[in-house]
Amino acid sequence: MRVRDIGEFELIGHLAETLGALDRGPRLRVAIGDDAAAWDSPAGMTVLSTDTMVEGVHFNRDRTSWRDLGWKAMAVNLSDVAAMGCSPGYSVVTLGLHGGLPVDGLKEMYLGMADACRRFGGAAVGGDVVRSPVFFVTVAMTGMAGDGDTPLLLRGAARPGDQVAVTGSLGGSAGGLRMLAEGPVLDDKTGSYLRDAHNRPAPRVSEGAILRRDGVLAAIDISDGLVADLDKLCEASGVGAVVRSGLLPVDARLKAAFPQDWLSLALSGGEDYELLFTAPPRTMESAISALEIPSAIVGDIVAAPRGVSVLDRDGRPVAVERGGWDHFRDSPDPSRAGRQDQA
């Protein structure tokens, strides 16, 4: 059996099984299968997350500037820490480099990382530089949970009766990717919105902390797409979800640029790095009102059926590609624009 013969989720299942059979001590709270690992320490809970961007897979230097690449490499990790409801701490950066890369570009990239940290917290404090025929950037980021009595935001904590909500708006990053690949849209203002949505995502760090403080228990960040990530949350929680497509928050500029496709971009596009969270209605109301950015309730958690259904205004099912982006199969559908399909 090769990696390509099974999907990403099955592969992770195999690896988690191997890891899970090992004794890892009583302090471990969250292991493989959430946005970050977490454990108790005398300082409170500590989280550790890592995320990688590989050239030609997760980014393309024709479409993403060096500075934006640094921002994004840091932002995707900040988003993981945010999705646990934690504050970003120090991080280490691994660069896999070949000789042809420009040194000034790499310095620009570090400045982009610093830009993101200045705005959202954390700091890069070391790392490793290795030779690699393929350029990649890996960040490993610690985070602090602060008040250890307040539960972390977890994928496995959604319950039937919860409402499902998302911060910000959806599909902009995938729209930006499509524009960068296929050419300009409408006007410069729309183009610049879409480009920034793709290249300079805003991880929801303060929002994650507010949600956790205000009693939300379940969250995940949207990296592979609303439906794919909600599916992971449902799987981890042993529940199902119904999403109402009419409730999805979609920016008017995305709708204008892609009048045919905005819904599919919003449902499956990925890389929005918004938070997807669930809570009972009363908790949801107070949590949403505490946030400083708009958030939208988009559906409900149900006991059955498992998985995610999307319904239109008339209650009819909307066809959606399922299962998240499958990173390893040989023939990906090139129309998908998930995190693994940016090259």
Site for a copy of itself in 83-142 (CB under 8 A): 89-92, 94, 96-104, 106-107, 110-111, 114, 117-118, 123-134, 136, 138, 140, 142
Query: What SS3 class is residue 1?
Result: coil
Q: Are the C-beta atoms of 298 and 237 separated by less than 8 Å?
A: no
Q: Are the C-beta atoms of 113 and 93 separated by less than 8 Å?
A: yes
Is residue 34 a contact point for a copy of itself (CB under 8 A)?
yes
CA gap 54, 50 in Å, rounded: 13
Report the residue from 54, 181, 236, 242 that binds a copy of itself according to the rule CB under 8 A: 54
Token pair listed for 271: 């890389």
Token pair listed for 265: 């971009």
Q: Given the DSSP bridges, would you call strands 44-54 and 37-41 parallel, antiparallel or unpaired? A: antiparallel
CA gap 186, 169 in Å, rounded: 20
Among the residue ranges 31-39, 157-165, 201-209, 241-249, the one whose residues contact a copy of itself (CB under 8 A) = 31-39
Is residue 56 a contact point for a copy of itself (CB under 8 A)?
yes
Cβ proximity to a copy of itself, 192 vs 335, nearer residue: 335
Q: C-alpha distances in angstroms, 132 versus 101, 127, 137?
A: 11, 15, 11
Least separation in angstroms between CB 92 and a copy of itself: 5
Among the residue ranges 190-198, 226-234, 304-312, 324-332, the one whose residues contact a copy of itself (CB under 8 A) = 324-332
Report the residue from 22, 26, 149, 259 that binds a copy of itself according to the rule CB under 8 A: 22
Cβ proximity to a copy of itself, 110 vs 296, nearer residue: 110
Is residue 48 a contact point for a copy of itself (CB under 8 A)?
yes
Q: What are phi and psi of 30, to 5 degrees?
A: -135, 130
Give the DSSP letter of residue 297: E
Is residue 18 a contact point for a copy of itself (CB under 8 A)?
yes
Give the DSSP letter of residue 317: B
Is residue 28 a contact point for a copy of itself (CB under 8 A)?
yes
Q: Are the C-beta atoms of 173 and 272 separated by less than 8 Å?
A: yes
How many residues touch a copy of itself under the rule CB under 8 A: the total is 82
Least separation in angstroms between CB 102 and a copy of itself: 6
Which parts of 156-195 interact with a copy of itself (CB under 8 A)?
Answer: none
Closest C-alpha among 250, 231, 249, 253 to residue 240: 231
Is residue 334 a contact point for a copy of itself (CB under 8 A)?
no
Least separation in angstroms between CB 73 and a copy of itself: 12
Among the residue ranges 21-29, 191-199, 261-269, 297-305, the one whose residues contact a copy of itself (CB under 8 A) = 21-29
The residue type found at 330 is D
The residue type found at 111 is L
CA gap 339, 270 in Å, rounded: 6
Among the residue ranges 20-28, 157-165, 272-280, 297-305, the one whose residues contact a copy of itself (CB under 8 A) = 20-28
Cβ proximity to a copy of itself, 1 vs 319, nearer residue: 1
Least separation in angstroms between CB 279 and a copy of itself: 25
CA gap 172, 178 in Å, rounded: 10
CA gap 163, 161 in Å, rounded: 6
Is residue 268 a contact point for a copy of itself (CB under 8 A)?
no
Q: Are the C-beta atoms of 227 and 320 separated by less than 8 Å?
A: yes
Is residue 149 a contact point for a copy of itself (CB under 8 A)?
no
Cβ proximity to a copy of itself, 137 vs 308, nearer residue: 137
Is residue 11 a contact point for a copy of itself (CB under 8 A)?
yes
Report the residue from 24, 188, 246, 281 that binds a copy of itself according to the rule CB under 8 A: 24
